[in-house]
Amino acid sequence: MITVVEKTALLETLDNDPQLLREVIGIFLADCPGKLAELRVAVTAGNPDQIANSAHSLRGSVATLGAQKAVEVAQKLESMGRQGQLEGAAEAFSILEREMALVTSALAEIAKEAF
């Protein structure tokens, strides 16, 4: 099984503070749907600047949590937006949506676990 988010590494970045980990995950889970929705609107509209900005914001959030595959796809979308090369943006967004579903599911499980 592929690990989407490495709990031990994430906890270490937060000084092994389980309460802080739960708070960070809670903030991410609250913010993520809105950021993903903004990016969806940008991709649907074909707005390169909005794609770049929304993907950058989302990339920063998932990078903080160590979700490498989601970071890579968000980076790809960000680059596409910055370069104004939107061919394949819808497909990349679809991949990102799947990755984000895996990330949010993994984080929700981590937050529920007893430490």
Contacts 24+ apart (CB under 8 A), 22-31: 22/111, 24/64, 24/65, 25/65, 25/107, 25/108, 25/110, 25/111, 26/111, 28/61, 28/64, 28/65, 28/107, 29/104, 29/107, 29/108, 29/111, 31/61
Report which secondary-structure segment, H or E, holds 107: helix 89-112
* In contact, 66 and 9? CB cutoff 8 Å: yes
Residue range 7-112 in CATH 1.20.120.160? yes
Query: How confident is the model at residue 9, as a pLDDT?
Result: 82
pLDDT in tens, 84-110: 999 999 999 999 999 999 999 999 988
Residues 6+ apart with CB under 8 A from 74: 55, 56, 58, 59, 62, 96
pLDDT in tens, 24-41: 999 999 999 999 999 999
Count of C-beta atoms within a 10 Å radius of residue 6? 16
What integer best gives the mean pLDDT of the chain?
A: 92
Query: How confident is the model at residue 1, as a pLDDT?
Result: 45
